[in-house]
A and B are shown apart, each in its own frame.
Chain A
Amino acid sequence: MYYRIIRNDMLKSKLITMTTMIFVAVAAMLVSLSAILVVNLSGSINMLMDQAKTPHFMQMHSGAIDTRRLADFAEQNSLVDEFQVLEFLNVDGAQIVINGNSLADSVQDNGFTTQSEKFDYLLDLDGNVITVFDGEIYIPVSYMKDGTGKVGDTISINGKKLTVAGFLRDSQMNSLLASSKRFLVSENDYAAIKDSGSTEYLIEFRLKNMSEISTFETAYTSAGLEANGPTITYPLFKMLNAISDGLMIAVLLLVSTLIVAITFMCIHFTLLAKIEDDYREIGVMKAIGLQASDLKKIYLVKYAVIAAAGCMLGFALSFVFRGLLLENIRLYMGESEHASFAFVFGIVGILIVFLAMIAYVNHVLKRFRKISAAHAIRFGTSQGKAAGAKHFRLSRNRLLTTNTFLGVKDVLARKSLYATMLAVLIISTFIIIVPQNLYNTISSKSFITYMGIGSSDMRIDIQQTSHISEKAAEIVKVMERDSSISKYAVLTTKTFNAKAADGTEQGIKIELGDHSVLPVQYSEGRAPVAEDEIALSTMNADDLGIKVGDVMTLVIDGKEKDFTVRGVYSDVTNGGKTAKAVFSDDSADIMWSVIYAKLSDPSLAEAKTSEYADRFHFAKVSHIDEYVAQTFGSTISSVGKASDTSIAVALMIAGLVILLFMKMLVAKDSYSIAVMKSVGFTDSDIAMQYISRSVFVLMAGMVLGTLLANTLGEVLAGAVISSFGASSFQFVDHPLSMYPLLLMIGTVLIATMLGTWGAGQIKIAANMKE
């Protein structure tokens, strides 16, 4: 009997059954995809880092190196399992020419290396350690993706010609966020090009026990060994590898949560409407002694069938799309070690969606118990009248047209019915605005100031060269005379030792210079101004346990000096551990200098960049937009894609739900519509009333959605952004963000008109005979 009742019920409401099922399917698909992606991503990263034997601790170093001393240190330190020093030949981009195009515009530090012997292997796309022959070169996989080079291309390095034999995965530097890229050549070829650039050393350690990385880090620092360059540890490598795809997963999960919420609301609405329709019947059943739980069971089974069908469909769909989403992970990191787990996790995700649905339907159906038999039989409807609407009277209305008044009045009188529509519109607005604002914000120019890069138009890096300060002075001299440069700041990075609370010393890189000219965004406090002031990056502040206002001690030229911490800022450059101060110092070696320049006319940036690049060969000159695009390019474009997708999804959801909602409403209201028509309201009057309802709810939804997006959404987006290093965050307002909302208004209006089309077909005669 159940089967027949359920089948008839579904056939009667095909559209609604189908839509609910599709929503469940999409939610199930997204949840299952997220689960599969999470498992694959973590599996692939682990696999890649296992196969490549990524170092647990790496110190980059340029300048003189004492390999003996390092080897002795490694031997004596009981934590060390393996140790090696790799060479990295840093060659200026202009000297590397792939198929006629030089890498001069690349902001990456492109360099050459030979295959390592012990660990930190460079792998081919099958995950095998590459053996490279003379005349061959392997290039980073990211250059395959952006089409810089392909197998068979010729690369010329300072005149030496090599053929691209394949692509390599580099467990350290795969990510675009890692600023260096390694090319692999044979020992002989390496020797041949060795004079084309400057050599940098990668001092690498693998530890016996990975949990002791920080103990080892302290030991290394306090031993006073080579440390002229960033320090990177295993967890940071892992994070760098995970960011781009991790963001995508986060967005997918967010969207699937929202779709589950919308599915719930649709069920809520459909069920309530159904209960209302069956109100008298339910009352009669109760009155003659049948149990409401029998009825409840019927609905529950019906939704279990819909949910099961939707979940299965969603699981099938996830197979169609997983390849597409896994593409990037597979390319950069290879197959996952637990690919079969992914399947299980996908099923678990889907089961969760299914069970959540059943639990929710069960919850809504609790209303059955509350129905009073007497009341149901007498009135045939539940008397859910909102008190607030009572004083909203046509006889007092002077402002609205009568049709608009009736629309608004209906919404106010049946608030709980329209709550679903409102919630869907709030959510749609939210999922339109948040990803879009996130995208606008991270792609906006000022965003780099959140990332530890001063707001400027041009950036000039001077490193891996001798006489850095003279060279910087040379550039500054030119800039002073250059009228098109309105402001510039020279920031010179040096390493000092900082004293921790327990008396141990720790190396800290400090950027010296005037930090007020082209400031970064301080999440707390302000830029250092006085000689005894300092600002720390978030990571350093957390590491040292220091807050704004605290005093910290630096060892400069053998003497201790106290500094007041004035500010904390986010930084993603140089491993995230930096500091800023203004004091002058001649004691420590310069590691590098960066000159930021702001132009009086930003449109000249491109021309100025090439002018300075041509003039100063020793420096790396980048247009800041390009710098940002190359550093965060893939992240920005994935967020951009996600944002476009969420706009499309939100519009589709809003359109579909409103269409359905209006169709149901017209069916429910057929009596009122017939009454209106009988007293002389035209079809267009009635359409106007429905449009007024939609527009009224839409306005409320958009206002609330926007509010929510700018509060909760900002916090959420901030959480996403802080996952890659920026700690304080605010949306950048953008005029463009209005367009999708206009699209939404259009979608809702069209859906309303389509949904209420049926109102014109309602025959007075058929609906007035009760």
Chain B
Amino acid sequence: MKMIIGENIVKSFSAGNETHPVLGGVSLKINEGEFISIMGPSGSGKTTLMYAVSGMDSIDSGTVLFDGRNLSALSEKELSDIRRTKMGFVFQQPTLLKNLNILDNIILPAMRDNKKNAAKTMEKARALMKKVGISELEKRDITEVSGGQLQRAGICRAVMSQPKIIFGDEPTGALNSTSAQKIMDILSDINTEGTAVMLVTHDAKVAARTERIMFMCDGSIVSELRFKKFNGTGMEDRIKAITAKMREIGI
């Protein structure tokens, strides 16, 4: 089932009098439960595409349908509601609020809607924290834990509402390889449970864990690669295939 259908998405940024086209009419479809990644050189429009299909940024023309609803036609409030209930976001830098401790950051969006079920929310948050291995950190301030731990807390926050899709913008970009490995394991688990995941990445090792890789260049999707769902084996081959593809399209 198609969850996201993007048609002919155009987006440009203007600096002073000049406008720089970033997305030149991109179309894509994402299925429910799919695990996909976008690769491409810096400035190719990967992140912009992700912001466009998640409704985080407006687009100049084209349409993005999420669950059958045209995101451009929705009000700011409706977009917020969708972000809070159906989408989760994980960024390169963990985007947690400085004022709140780890637990409070994780439960923040859930508490906005559902203060009555605070106990349930807390229970769920603790279960998630245990799952990603940060349960002993719940009372820590965000300046008191490592980057990898913060990223895991960010993922907990993103999956609290049981979203249909998690968007990840280089979620492992600022982490060492062990931490990155751990994050990818968590994202894979989440995907196995039925949540779609869309990642933007430079890292072939990260992309190799996904089942479909889109390659972008100068604002367009130039190629695509499909794998089976990752089951812990065949990593080397998948990486080889990705690097070959990249060489082929000249990235």
Contact = CB atoms under 8 A, between A and B. Distances in A.
Interface of A: 379, 383, 385, 389-390, 393-395, 398, 401-403, 406, 409-410, 413-414, 671-672, 674-685, 760, 763-765, 768-770
Contacts of B115: 398, 401-402
A534 B133 CA distance: 86
Nearest to B114: A402
B76 A394 contact: no
Given A385-B141, A393-B104, A401-B115, A680 B84 contact: yes
Given A402-B111, A679-B83, A680-B83, A409 B100 contact: yes
A151 B93 CA distance: 84
B76 A678 contact: no
Interface residues of B, number: 42
B166 interface: no
A768 B111 contact: no
Nearest to B89: A678
B101 A389 contact: no
In the A-B complex, the 7 residue pairs with the smallest Cβ-Cβ separation, listed nearest first, are: A680-B84, A394-B104, A765-B57, A680-B83, A682-B80, A679-B109, A675-B95
Interface in B156-200: 157-158, 161, 169
Contacts of A676: 97
A412 to B, nearest CB: 9
A765 to B, nearest CB: 4
Given A393-B101, A765-B56, A681 B111 contact: no
B77 A684 contact: yes
Nearest to B174: A770
A682 B56 contact: no
Interface in B18-63: 47-48, 51, 56-57
A413 B142 CA distance: 14
Contact of A680 (B103, B109, B141, B169): B109
Contacts of A390: 101, 141
Contact of A672 (B92, B98, B157, B158): B98
A763 B57 contact: yes
B51 A764 contact: yes
Nearest to A678: B89
B97 A672 contact: yes
Nearest to B88: A679
Contacts of B85: 680
A488 to B, nearest CB: 67
B57 A680 contact: no
A402 B108 contact: yes
A740 to B, nearest CB: 34
Nearest to B100: A394
A760 B76 contact: yes
B230 interface: no
B66 interface: no
Contact of A675 (B97, B107, B112): B97
A406 B100 CA distance: 9
B249 interface: no
Contact of A677 (B80, B82, B93, B97): B80
A399 to B, nearest CB: 10
B96 A675 contact: yes
Residue picked from A385, A395, A398, most chain B C-beta under 10 Å: A395
A394 B80 contact: no
A760 to B, nearest CB: 7
A677 B81 CA distance: 10
A395 B103 contact: yes
Contacts of A395: 103-104, 107, 118, 122, 138
Contacts of A684: 77
B81 A680 contact: yes
Nearest to B103: A395
17 contacts: A395-B104, A398-B115, A402-B108, A406-B99, A409-B100, A410-B99, A675-B97, A678-B56, A678-B95, A680-B84, A681-B109, A682-B77, A683-B80, A764-B56, A764-B57, A765-B57, A768-B91
B107 A394 contact: yes
B93 A679 contact: no
Nearest to B109: A679
Contacts of B108: 394, 402, 679
B80 A681 contact: yes
A578 B68 CA distance: 92
Contact of B95 (A398, A681, A768): A768
